[in-house]
Amino acid sequence: MSTATAEAATTDAPEAPKPFTVTLLVRRYNPESGREAYWEDFDVEMYPTDRILDALHRIKWDQDGSLAFRRSCAHGICGSDAMRINGRNRLACKTLIKDLDISKPIYVEAIKGLPLEKDLIVDMEPFFAAYREVQPFLVSSSHPEPGKERIQSIDDRERFDDTTKCILCAACTTSCPVFWTDGQYFGPAAIVNAHRFIFDSRDDNAQVRLDILNDTEGVWRCRTTFNCTDACPRGIQVTKAIAEVKAAIRSGKTS
C-alpha cells in the first residue's frame, strides 16, 4: 500500500467511540446497619454498548466493594440479574447504556414483591416455592422402550413452545401489581411453567395442575394488566399463556 493510500485509509477510518460519564442512582440496603433503604449516586465512565451490569461491576470493583447484586452468565440465559432499571423490570446484562436516557441519572433498584436481603438482592424462595407447587416436570405413565424417545408431533411441540423459554428470572412475577399486594398469589412465572406441561401431549398430570391453579390465589387473581408480558426478557406472551390456562380450566380441555 502506498503512503498516500495509507493516509487516505487512516483519514476515512471512523473515530473510536469515547467513554462518557453516566450517573447511576442505586437503592442501597444493608440489614445490619439498622438504616432504611436509601439512594446512593455513582458516576461511572461508560461506552454506549456497555450494559448496566458493566456499570455495576465497575462500581463494585473500583468504587464500593460492598455493593451487592446477583449475576452469573451475563448473557441473558441464567436470569439471575433481574432488577428494576428506571422503574422497569429488566436484566442488567441485556440493558444497554445507549438505550437509556443518559441525560438523567439511571435508577437501579431491587425487584419488588420479594423480601429484600441486601442492596439489589432479594430472597427468591417465595418465588421458587410457587414454581415448585405447580409441579413443573413431566409426569407420564407411559415408558418408551430403552433407548427410545417419547414421540411428539411438530404441532404438539409448538403448542407449548413459547412457555419453554422461561429462565426463572422473576421479572414477570415481580412486575405484577397483584403479586406486590398479595403474598399468596402464584404469580405469572409459576403459571407459565405450569402451562408448559399442561399443554404437553406427553404429560398425564394436566388436570392436577389445573386444579392447583383453579384457586383464589391461582389464575383468577390475574387482572390482565400485561405488565408481565412487557417485563419478560425472553419475549414470552405471558398474559396469553395465563388466559389459555383459564380457558382450559373452564372447558376442561388442553388440546
Pick from 182, 168, 76: nearest CA to 128: 168
pLDDT in tens, the chain (255 residues): 555 555 555 556 778 778 899 999 999 999 999 999 999 999 999 999 999 999 999 999 999 999 999 999 999 999 999 999 999 999 999 999 999 999 999 999 999 999 999 999 999 999 999 999 999 999 998 888 888 888 899 999 999 999 999 999 999 999 999 999 987 899 999 999 999 999 999 999 999 999 999 998 999 999 999 999 999 999 999 999 999 999 999 998 776
Collapsed DSSP state (helix, strand, coil) of residue 163: helix
pTM: 0.90
Cβ distance 94 to 233 under 8 Å?
A: yes
Distance separating alpha carbons of residues 94 and 91, to the nearest angstrom:
5
Tell me the longest C-alpha to C-alpha distance in the chain: 78
Phi, psi of 24 (to 5 degrees): -110, 130
Which domains does the chain carry? 20-122 (3.10.20.30), 125-143+151-251 (1.10.1060.10)
Query: What is the Cα–Cα distance from 41 to 98, expressed in whole angstroms?
Result: 19
